[in-house]
């Protein structure tokens, strides 16, 4: 117990890195996911195939392999990203692919009549998407977005393999010194759980808010 308290400041500091990685990747991932979903639904030639290949590759390969590739791949071509940006890039590309499917499902679940009604009001396809369809789809997409975020929060632990001192790597570093894996991993697990729970609470509030007129 004493060791858990002693190591708490260092682990808490590393948790900030974990939250930062998750938040930055989620922000980028949301943008990637929405754009990908829109391109695929609009069936834009070439682009929509690229996006389909992107989603298929990301979903079909392990995140750990993607992280290694983003970190160790580009330097072979004389272009290299620092560990934290590499981690954020890999995580955003990953979560973006999953989110694009959430968005696609949510957008497609908006009744067809909505688009037809928008057309009769003289809206173009993209105006209707922006003002009628996408806003309605957000409510449907929210639970799966929340799910993705909590998954992402824990996936950040994989970034420890590319020298980023986030919560898991910090735990291993402390274990190397103290030889107390049980205590340290339990403390780390508790911190992950606290972060996820705090987020779940925020998500609940948001969901209630966007559903209040339904």
Contacts with another protein, residue ranges (CB under 8 A): 10, 40-41, 43, 45-46, 48-50, 52-53, 72, 75-80, 108, 112, 115-116, 161-163, 165, 169, 172-177, 179, 181
Min dist CB 112 to another protein, Å, is 6
Per the document, the length of the chain is 214
What is the DSSP code string of 15-39?
A: HHHHHHHHHHHHHHHHHHHHHHHHH
| 99 Cβ neighbours under 8 A, 6+ residues apart | 29, 30, 32, 33, 34, 37, 145, 148
Tally the C-alpha atoms within 13 A of residue 91's C-alpha that lie toward its C-beta: 31
Min dist CB 28 to another protein, Å, is 20
Query: Residue 77 or 212: which CB sits closer to another protein?
Result: 77
State the distance between the two ends of the chain, measured CA to CA, in whole angstroms: 48
Min dist CB 177 to another protein, Å, is 6
Query: Residue 73 or 143: which CB sits closer to another protein?
Result: 73
Min dist CB 186 to another protein, Å, is 15
Query: Residue 179 or 214: which CB sits closer to another protein?
Result: 179
Query: Residue 28 or 175: which CB sits closer to another protein?
Result: 175
| 8 Å CB contact between 132 and 62 | no
Q: How far apart are CA 33 and CA 27, in angstroms?
A: 10
């Amino acid at each position: 117990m004493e060791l858990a308290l002693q190591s708490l400041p260092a682990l808490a500091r590393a948790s900030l890195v974990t939250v930062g990685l998750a938040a930055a990747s989620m922000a980028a991932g949301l943008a990637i996911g929405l754009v990908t979903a829109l391109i695929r639904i609009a069936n834009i030639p070439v682009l929509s195939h690229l996006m389909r290949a992107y989603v298929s590759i990301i979903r079909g390969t392990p995140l750990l392999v993607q992280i290694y590739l983003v970190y160790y791949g580009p330097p072979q071509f004389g272009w290299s990203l620092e560990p934290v940006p590499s981690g954020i890039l890999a995580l955003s590309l990953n979560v973006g692919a999953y989110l694009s499917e959430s968005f696609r499902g949510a957008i497609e679940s908006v009744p067809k009549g909505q688009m037809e009604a928008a057309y009769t009001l003289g809206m173009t396809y993209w105006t209707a998407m922006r003002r009628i369809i996408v806003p309605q789809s957000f409510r449907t997409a929210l639970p799966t977005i929340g799910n993705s975020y909590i998954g992402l929060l824990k996936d950040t632990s994989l970034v420890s393999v590319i020298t980023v001192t986030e919560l898991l790597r910090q735990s291993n570093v402390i274990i190397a010194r103290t030889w107390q894996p049980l205590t340290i991993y339990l403390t780390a697990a508790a911190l992950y759980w606290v972060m996820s729970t705090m987020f779940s609470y925020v998500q609940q509030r948001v969901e209630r808010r966007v559903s209040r007129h339904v």
